[in-house]
A = this chain, B = another copy of it.
Amino acid sequence: MSDPRPLILALYEQASVGCGGAPGLWTHPADDRVGVNSLDRWRDVALTVQQAGLHALFLADVLGLYDVYEGSVDAAVREAVEAPANDPFGYVPALAEVARDLAFVVTASTTYEHPFSLSRRFGTLDHLTGGRIGWNVVTSYLESAARNFGLDGQLKHADRYGRAEEFLDVVYQLLEGSWADDAVVADKASATWARTGSVRPIDHVGTHFRVAGPSLTSPSRQRTPVLFQAGWSPRGREFGARHGEVVLLPKSDPHEIRAGLDDIRSRAAALGREAEDVRALALARIVVAPTRAAAQEKLADLQSAYRLQAQLVSYSGDSGIDISRYADDEPLSTVTNGLTSYVPKAGPGSPPLTAGDVRRRFANVDRGSDLFFVGTPGEVAVAMGEHAATAGLDGYMINPLTSPGTLADVAELLVPELVDRGLFTQGVKTGSLRSRVRLDGADRLPDSFPGSRFRRPTPSRS
């Protein structure tokens, strides 16, 4: 058996006080997330992530408050469930300046952004950070977000993906296709900044967008930011197979992940991509301490700050089901909103879930089926290595329980153990984000990537 490939690790964060993976844990005495609006806490996070050698800081996002539970935002803002929801793009340039080797993955929605604006934003960030930028492509899932952008409710699942496909094609045309590699010469003597004929409109006319172009930004180190994507439905997998450079898998069972990932990689290969060009991460929560007893104590301490109420607000928002209206013995109604994380059945053929099932499942901070590693550094390292190998995963996004608690533990206890076992590469990661996650270390998308078809041959010099 060959040596394991070192894992890719990122920290999952969000510009909110309370995040989905840690319901209520902002109330823990040692947690500092109430400082969301100040960079003070974020500087420490960024520097620690960089110093620990993690590959990136990932910023999740939502575009509406959680208002399904009890039919208002009150519970969500009281419990700080994904609230507030500050703009992640406000943080990234500042933190990239603080931690000058750290890479960032920023969530942005193809449903509520415009591809011309967003490609400029990413092109600019890619320049300013020297290529340390990834984009978590989402189609968004909250009804409340739809109502903030002029819709009565969400676009249908298929329409969201149809728009997303065209959105990406516009981004490729702008960032990969509208400026030649050698367009910018910046020659003062001949007063030539960019060469004639090297910058051309895209004149895109599609179903959702009409965009003339060219891009307002010149080619950056990566051109297109590294594309992250999460999707488990057949449509989501097809999208990931086409556009995902790093896919995020919302599951814990390694065999289930392996099956889904095989499907995504097969679809990618059918599109002409190298299967290995699709890297895959799962979202993991980790409790690690020097001894097994200390880990259990830490878990109990976290449990003391855990709030089922916050979790139920989160569940209601994610699923669209207002669980506050159901008694424990009532089965939950079926809601179809394209999500796969929460379904009102435990599985195919199972009886409908009752509200009591959900409340019991979420009674504790480990939330039953989540990917949750608890133990000594050695135990967690072994478990992660085995899980990744079985699942075919390339690594994990670590979803912190408390902040700075989880990150500090990962940096001090887990990373050294992973390094010792050959499961992680020691030291600050440098270079473009794409070079960190691709096996060939390239800065740019490979020619086999579907979006690369929008590249143009470089015109002959005039």
Q: Which of A186-234 contact B (CB under 8 A)?
A: 186, 188-189, 191-201, 209-214, 216-218, 220
B contact residues around A351 at 8 Å (CB): none
User: Considering the chains assembled together, what is the distance between the CA atoms of A87 and B98 in angstroms?
Assistant: 20
**Does A4 count as interface, using CB distance less than 8 angstroms?**
no
Which residues on B sit within 8 Å (CB–CB) of A194?
Answer: 77-78, 80, 83
Q: In the complex this chain forms, how many copies of it are found? A: 2
In the complex, whether A148 has a CB less than 8 A from a CB of chain B is yes
Chain B's closest residue to A130 (CB) is: B38
User: Residues 63-99 of chain A: 1 if any B CB is under 8 Å from the residue's CB, otherwise 0?
Assistant: 1110000000110011110011111011111101110
Residue in B39, B79, B117 whose beta carbon sits within 8 Å of that of A112 in the complex: B117
Which residue in chain B gives the minimum CB-CB distance to A197? B74
A105 at the interface (CB under 8 A from B): no
Q: Which residues of B contact A93 (CB under 8 A)?
A: 90-94, 97
- Do A84 and B217 have beta carbons less than 8 Å apart? yes
What is the bound-complex CA distance between A309 and B191, given in angstroms? Answer: 10
Is there contact, CB below 8 Å, between A212 and B124?
Answer: no
What separation, in Å, do the CA atoms of A91 and B211 have in the docked complex? Answer: 25
A188-B87 contact in complex given A39-B97, A97-B94, A183-B77, C-beta closer than 8 Å: no
On chain B, the residues within 8 Å of A197 by CB distance are 74
Known pairs A89-B89, A92-B93, A116-B148; A83 contacts B125 (CB<8 A): no
Which residues of A are in contact with B by a Cβ distance under 8 Å?
A: 15, 17-18, 24, 26-29, 31, 34, 37-39, 62-65, 73-74, 77-80, 83-87, 89-94, 96-98, 112-114, 116-117, 120-121, 123-125, 127-128, 144, 147-151, 183, 186, 188-189, 191-201, 209-214, 216-218, 220, 307, 309-310
11 A-B residue pairings within 8 Å (CB atoms): A17-B186, A31-B188, A34-B193, A37-B127, A37-B220, A63-B116, A78-B196, A79-B191, A93-B93, A148-B211, A191-B310
List 11 additional contacts besides A26-B193, A38-B127, A87-B117; criterion CB under 8 Å: A17-B186, A39-B128, A65-B199, A65-B214, A74-B199, A77-B183, A78-B191, A78-B194, A90-B124, A90-B128, A94-B128
